[in-house]
Structure 1
Amino acid sequence: MFAARLARMTESPILAMARKRRELVAAGHDVIALNIGEPDFDTPDHIRAAAKRAIDAGHTHYPPVAGLAELRAAIARKLREENGLDYAPDEIVVTGGAKQALANAMFALLEKGDEVILPAPYWVAYRGLVELVGATAVIVPATIDDGWRVPPQRLAAAITEKSRLLILNTPGNPSGVVLKESELAAIAELVRAHPRLMVISDEIYEYILFDGARMHSIAALNGMRERVITVNGFSKGFAMTGWRLGYAAAARPLAAAIAKMQGAFTAGANSIAQHAAIAALEGPRDAVEDMVRTYAERRRFVMQRLRAIEGVRAVAPEGAFYVLADVSADGGEDDAALCDRLLAERHVALTPGGAFGAPGTVRISFAASRADLAEGLNRFAAGLAAS
């Protein structure tokens, strides 16, 4: 009755946990949400004000498929000044969220039989999109003993003549790993040795960094500009998840292919959100810095609390707002069953790490209030002790 591709699609474990949590809340239960992958802050005032001005000025019509010229120019300046990336405005495509940028790129690049290398832990949507396109995901795992970092030699061993795409995410969701320039240089060397292999670099968490970690873009390295699609957006750093705005930057032929896919699916991204995004890039960053300071305080609290829970191991994240905690010590309950039980019995929502290619772990979001973190971690600890 339906297209065969639907059989390749299952409900995202992240969305499934969110749905189960909402059902409990609707039934009147007090559920602590440590599964949420979005800032718990409102969009900064000057960005909201820009959107209101755009509405009043009548910017309510179809925008160009690839994005407003003013926004693409602002993104080009941002990439040049902050990331060392030299893209012209016509090499940037504004999308309906970073996920659409990823989908556009994959549909433009991948055929059935192509292989996509996913260093694990990975954001769950990557694998879903790869499978939707009809390509094959090749998972290259890291463990907590690796610090959640996949060694380049492990990536090298995964490359075959079918390898078409490598997806990087730095800072990483769910691991919090920020790839060092030396790590990116080693990866770039591998890519340059395989002419068919392209890279998507998802940098959506770039502003959320801790303990002196520095952001580096692989596209800035020698010989990589033509081989990389840099994906970013406004959701995480500017607390604009509901505005649904992202972008891809790539060499002109790649950008044109991405824009062509977008024209087929959705046409231009929300015009009002694009005007707000210009204000985000060109306005003050005080609110962003305040958010990051708050995340840093929460991170310290969460790590201190996790270290006191028997049977839990965790590596302090260098970026983003998650801790990936290893709960495999007792070798019993798998992570999905554990998260379901914690939600049902303790009313705390976490995300099972198996969804990210890291079985035996749970992802804890610290995009939550200090009070919710304290109570949620108490419930987590009590649930583990009762297993």
Structure 2
Amino acid sequence: MTDRATALREAGRDIISLSVGEPDFRTPDNVILAAKAALDGGKTKYTPVTGTMALKQAAALHFRRDLGIACRPEQVIVTAGGKQAIFEALAATVGEGDEVIVPSPWWVSYPQIVRFAGGKVVPLITHPQHGFRFEPSDLEALITPRTTWLLLNSPGNPTGAVYPRDMLLGIAHVLRRHPQVLVMSDDIYAPLNYTAEPHATLAALCPDLADRICTVSGVSKSHAMTGFRIGVATGPDWLIEAMGRLQSNGSGNPSSISQAGAVEAFEGPQDFLQDWRERFRARRDKVVQAVREIRGLSTPVPDGAFYCFIDAKPLMDRFDHDDNKLALHLLEHGVAVVAASAFGGRDGFRISFAADDAVLDEAMRRIAQALA
């Protein structure tokens, strides 16, 4: 899809991309200044493989202040983006034939990482009428003696699903009966929660399970720092150590300059996040309304993140029930989206509303015209 969109742009076509999960806001100035100061100060050498102590301390502050997770700096690993942390945790623990339960629709990299490690992906199907959330009983029905991990993403990509406190407590009740199951809690979108309830995460709610939970966060989405490539994770000592050994041999330390910027992101002012969240909420409401005005499309209201996962089932006869053909059709009309099948779904597509209002208005106009 990216290659096709690039080719069309090079041919002079005007293409709006709603396919990328990237805030359109500018990285905060204090973060930019911190990165510049690191450059000016000559901090351009290797750092410790798993991150500087300054950033580990800042990340521990973030986990405690923003997610309610008490952790020591030594229990933090700094990675080149949150994806590297997820990759390392699974690669360090998943062997041939191990089962990993992945709620579907899922972020595209989850199943690929599991398969790379030799594991078996066990889809946990969720549905729009339930807000793309699963019940604890759905989870327990899939657990076997070979189950190694549950991957939990809240707020979620691609659906925007948020697991509230009560649902997480129910999931924890199931996990206590199955002590071999580890939990990957991907909280990268935690600041973008549009519900009336504060963000809830499993390690904070259930400290008795903390030695089985790897919580992943970062600065990419919260501080518009996607290009800095900094993720952070915390978990039990044995897992963080194993992830560090992989990182030592796979990539070495994350960028020293990016780490300096991330320290400021975590320790500096956070008040701008409320404004960003409200602007994203307004864009969400605009896009949901526009989708529902297009005959044949529907979407639940996402509770978090900045995506709408759109159902187009009534229109799929026109595209031979192939949502890639639907996505390419929309691209020919000037809008790049991602087919639902990329996320383990079907008969629809995902759009990101991390774009300014004028762009979203024009994109939704083009989608409506393409499907008229």
Q: Which residue of 1 aligns with 2:235?
A: 250
The alignment status of 1:336 with 2:321, answered yes or no, reads no
TM-score between the two structures when normalised by the length of structure 2: 0.96
The alignment status of 1:377 with 2:361, answered yes or no, reads no
The alignment status of 1:83 with 2:67, answered yes or no, reads yes
Shift of 1:331: 4.3
In structure 1, distance between residues paired with 2:195 and 2:286: 14
Q: Which residue of 1 aligns with 2:176?
A: 192
Shift of 1:336: 1.4
Q: Which residue of 2 aligns with 1:3?
A: none
* C-alpha contact (below 8 Å) 1:210/1:318 kept by paired residues: yes
Q: Which residue of 2 aligns with 1:274?
A: 259
1:129-148 Cα deviation digits (max 9, x unpaired): 11111111111111212221
Q: Which residue of 2 aligns with 1:49?
A: 33
Q: Which residue of 2 aligns with 1:183?
A: 167
**Percent sequence identity over aligned pairs:** 39
The alignment status of 1:322 with 2:296, answered yes or no, reads no
Q: Which residue of 2 aligns with 1:355?
A: 342
In structure 1, distance between residues paired with 2:371 and 2:282: 25
* 5+ long unaligned stretches in structure 2: none
Secondary structure at the counterpart of residue 137 of structure 1: strand
Shift of 1:286: 3.4
The correspondence for 2:291, drawn from 306, 312, 315, is 306
Shift of 1:337: 1.2
Count of residues in Structure 1 that have an aligned counterpart in Structure 2: 368
The correspondence for 2:189, drawn from 205, 208, 230, is 205
Report which stretch shifted further, 300-309 or 199-208: 300-309
Shift of 1:330: 3.6
The alignment status of 1:289 with 2:274, answered yes or no, reads yes
Q: Which residue of 2 aligns with 1:110?
A: 94
In structure 1, distance between residues paired with 2:18 and 2:240: 36
Q: Which amino acid counterpart does residue 249 of structure 1 have in structure 2?
A: T
In structure 2, distance between residues paired with 1:342 and 1:373: 14
The alignment status of 1:92 with 2:92, answered yes or no, reads no
Q: Which residue of 1 aligns with 2:156?
A: 172
The correspondence for 1:225, drawn from 210, 213, 216, is 210
* 5+ long unaligned stretches in structure 1: 1-16
Shift of 1:374: 1.0
1:272-318 Cα deviation digits (max 9, x unpaired): 11110110011112333332222111111111111211111111111
The correspondence for 1:37, drawn from 12, 17, 21, is 21
In structure 1, distance between residues paired with 2:86 and 2:195: 29
Secondary structure at the counterpart of residue 313 of structure 2: coil
In structure 1, distance between residues paired with 2:98 and 2:78: 26
Q: Which residue of 2 aligns with 1:136?
A: 120
Shift of 1:154: 1.3
What is the alpha-carbon root mean square deviation over aligned residues? 1.2
Structure 1 runs (4+) greater than 3 angstroms displaced: none
Q: Which amino acid counterpart does residue 95 of structure 2 have in structure 1?
A: E
Distance 1:44 1:304, change over 3 A: same
Distance 1:262 1:283, change over 3 A: same
Q: Which amino acid counterpart does residue 224 of structure 2 have in structure 1?
A: A
TM-score between the two structures when normalised by the length of structure 1: 0.93
Shift of 1:222: 3.9
The correspondence for 2:107, drawn from 107, 123, 144, is 123
